[in-house]
Structure 1
């Protein structure tokens, strides 16, 4: 009588194990991920952008591409859309918001990184370099609340609070999770 090989699959058949992992990866849920920036001027106003492809203003940033780290996606978007080149070392995660499925969209993970305060020269050098944007402006909190969709304002307000207190906000659809 022979003893069956009781070693785990990854030891007895590494190729079969890799195939098993690849199958699991192909069948697991995928999440959309976006990374936006909390950027302020020397008056404490927040930088907003006016996308040409949707109503309402938004934060600068955008969707990550497949297999792109969120911080890299943010830096790419800032460079592509506003000619703003900021080092990764200047950016700190301040908000993560899980957004449930809505309309035609599956759920997503939205992140906000603080990028600090631009100098007057940096702010003056901003320019639109992508047709996806129609305008940008530094806004007071009241102006931002009026221009943003309510859930985006809630996310931004949580990010501002977190940045100012040195914490990270974790939200579900714009609301703090207790």
Structure 2
């Protein structure tokens, strides 16, 4: 036993992403060069950075655009055996304008592509824990809510 009570505290890593839409209510999924599944634009927070700041920075780095981000759609407590405790934030990127779409310049060190997909097919397009999070984020986008999730499940 340790004398430091903080030794038992969770030390969660935090990541933030953005859910973008097109005019057909499809969601953007990106193809990372370093993952074997599709994801949303985003990444881990840097020291001293807020989740929103991280989401904005990651979108700028990965896509080369600077759209105004909307509200938080989901916060997901999503620890993984391989990566430890994590809390994941997903912000509403809204519908991308033609200018934003035309301005996308993928960071070749991170992304090899992107496409828009119907939310109904998301479970066939990415890993299950992310698919669950995206389904809830899409629903929150439509109903104006913010959802707290654990392992992608609405609590």
TM-score by shorter chain over 0.5: yes
Q: Which has the higher helix share?
A: 1
Alignment pair present for 1:120 and 2:101: no
Alignment pair present for 1:74 and 2:52: no
RMSD: 1.9
Matches within 5 A, 1:69-108: 69-87=50-68, 90-103=69-82, 105-108=83-86
Matches within 5 A, 1:90-169: 90-103=69-82, 105-169=83-147
Q: For 1:91, what is the secondary structure of its paired residue?
A: coil
Off by >2 Å, runs of 4+ in structure 1:
23-30, 142-145
Change (3 A) 1:143 1:125: farther
* Larger of the two Rg values belongs to structure: 1
Q: For 2:129, what is the secondary structure of its paired residue?
A: helix
Q: Note if contact 2:29-2:115 (Cα within 8 Å) is conserved in structure 1.
A: yes
> 1:69: Cα distance to partner?
0.5
Q: Which residue of 2 aligns with 1:4?
A: none
Aligned length: 152
Q: For 2:24, what is the secondary structure of its paired residue?
A: coil
State the distance in 1 between where 2:80 and 2:129 align: 14
TM-score by length of 2: 0.89
List gaps (5 residues or longer) in structure 2: none
Alignment pair present for 1:54 and 2:32: no
TM-score by length of 1: 0.78
